[in-house]
Amino acid sequence: MKRVAWCMFALLLVGGSFADVVKISKDAYVRGGINADTNYGAVDQLWVRDSASADNRLKTYLEMDVGSVLGVGEQFSGVTVGLKSVLSQTSGTTFSLYGIVDNSDAWTETTVTWNNAPRNNTTSGSAMLAGASLLATLNVSAGAFISGVVYTFADDRITEYLNWTAGVVADPYGNGVSADTKATFVIVSSAAEQVFRFASAENISYGAPEPIVEYTAVIPEPATLGLVGLATAALFCTRRLAM
């Protein structure tokens, strides 16, 4: 038993990684104007739209709990956020992905509205308040938003945000450590008067449609160790366990 434990410790020292996917089950869109106090958490689609009309402004909220995702000594790497479209759109747009970074991200799927959504700028269909940090943008050209396609946000800032939420990196936002292990993402669109629709976790029409977070969990490799160290540790373990 001691030999097994030592081998696990040796491999931990020289670093390692594995890829995984987390499905987002907590999601909702919010709508402004006369709908500003209406909850859409049970709807099977997630809508985003900018508009001159307050009634037609739409933003999407997602929450990921990272509390049980990482193991001891691990951190996130190469994080992406993906959503599947459910209706084609001829217009192009730029989607922006924000993260709530000021520890004011509490919300529930059944009660969130335009008026109470965390860090929502209620006067704009595409802007957020201070405390929401831009993590990534995604440009979609005219005619390129196709039903059934997964559109993916990829940026190192997403990785940094989840590592902060998980408490494994120093505070990059000037707001102290994360108060909990829940990461709130917000998606907005720059296209005026055009609605873009994604599948929510409640959608059963598109096959595993939930918004997803893909990542690699890594154990940072000490600067003095590398592949040689890994090979040595593996060889030692093999010999020790065979004894």
Residue 228 pLDDT = 40
Relative to beta strand 182-189, strand 58-65 is: antiparallel
Mean pLDDT (the chain, rounded): 87
Contact present, 79 and 32 (Cβ < 8 Å): no
Residue 206 pLDDT = 79
Relative to beta strand 93-100, strand 16-23 is: unpaired
**Cα–Cα distance between 123 and 66 in angstroms, integer?**
31
Q: Residue 222: pLDDT band by 50, 70, 90 thresholds? A: low
What CATH code would you report for 17-220? 2.60.120
Q: What is the 3-state secondary structure (H, E, C) of 88-145?
A: CECCCEEEEEEEECCCCCCCCCCCCCCCCCCCECCCCCCCECCCEEEEEEEEECCCCE
For 12, 102, 204, 238, 242, the CA distances from 9, given in Å and listed in that order, are: 5, 36, 43, 14, 18
Q: Where are the domains of the chain?
A: 17-220
pLDDT in tens, 98-142: 999 999 999 999 999 999 999 999 999 999 999 999 999 999 999
Q: How far is CA 237 from the centre of its chain?
A: 37
- Token pair in block for residue 118: 């965390």
For the segment 198-206, the average pLDDT, to the nearest whole number, is 90
**Cα–Cα distance between 30 and 26 in angstroms, integer?**
13
Closest CA to 46 of 203, 193, 181, 194: 203
Q: Where are the beta strands (DSSP E) in 32-87?
A: 45-48, 58-65, 75-84
Q: What is the DSSP letter of 56?
A: G
pLDDT in tens, 68-99: 899 989 999 999 999 999 999 999 999 999 99
pLDDT in tens, 137-177: 999 999 999 999 999 999 999 999 999 999 999 899 999 99
Q: In what order do the strands lie in the sheet with 150-154?
A: 16-23, 212-219, 75-84, 150-154
